[in-house]
Chains A and B, each alone.
Chain A
């Protein structure tokens, strides 16, 4: 898994590529933790180049969403979620917990 982080005026975009599994999920958690600890809680996670995400990765997203929404500080939204991954979100009952955007521009514009 590789990640890149880009800061916009009202939010931060995290792009990931590759596999998010039990081996790599801690790295993704660390990326999000660093941002939220700096008070950056309006987050876009662009999953366009993510090949695979397991429940270990889903837990990272839930944890981050909880951190962001506590104290009404912000929210984590998802962009470019590939079809099979969206299906997995649906199976896990995660669709109601996130806002999904077709593209990164729309996601950034939502803040």
Chain B
């Protein structure tokens, strides 16, 4: 085989997409899909766990906020390993939102003052090296998450 073709084939194999029904039961299957990719990317256990957490939070938010409940659409999940970095792309067709409008939780507040919301998004920003939201009524809402290889927790 032509080496360029081989290289292309290998790079194609490094990207996988799966579609999941947007319901909380899907979180386990999405998690397994992500764990496989993070382990293949060669991440340490604690980094794998953090990526699991970020993706779970993102998908839970899609179901709860973008779709406003379970079984109202799909989550298309793609992972790509490139140069040891892991990119995860989550696409949904629910309501767009303004991430900047979500208040950041006060993680130093006393117990009684701890608010309910915003923690998931906060964790995503804490864990991932790149977090990009693209909202498009035709192409869907796309959340791109990148975890870099060298970033060991």
* Chain B neighbourhood of A69, CB < 8 A: 111
Q: Which of B46, B108, B120, B123 contacts A84 (CB 8 A)?
A: B46
Q: Are B60 and A52 in contact (CB under 8 A)?
A: no
Q: Bound complex: CA of A55 vs CA of B107, how far in Å?
A: 13
Q: Which of A19, A66, A87 contacts B49 (CB 8 A)?
A: A87
Q: Tell me whether A65 and B107 are in contact in the complex, defined as CB-CB below 8 angstroms, given that A22-B64, A59-B116, A88-B123 are known contacts.
A: no
Q: Are B53 and A88 in contact (CB under 8 A)?
A: yes
Q: Are B123 and A21 in contact (CB under 8 A)?
A: no
Q: Tell me whether A84 and B57 are in contact in the complex, defined as CB-CB below 8 angstroms, given that A22-B64, A54-B120 are known contacts.
A: no
Q: State which size class the interface on A falls in.
A: 20 to 34
Is there a chain A Cβ closer than 8 Å to B11's Cβ?
Answer: no
Is there a chain B Cβ closer than 8 Å to A58's Cβ?
Answer: yes
Residue pairs across A and B with Cβ atoms less than 8 A apart, 22 shown, are A21-B27, A23-B27, A23-B28, A52-B31, A54-B53, A54-B56, A54-B120, A55-B60, A59-B116, A59-B119, A66-B114, A69-B111, A84-B45, A85-B49, A87-B46, A87-B153, A88-B49, A91-B126, A92-B107, A92-B119, A96-B108, A97-B111
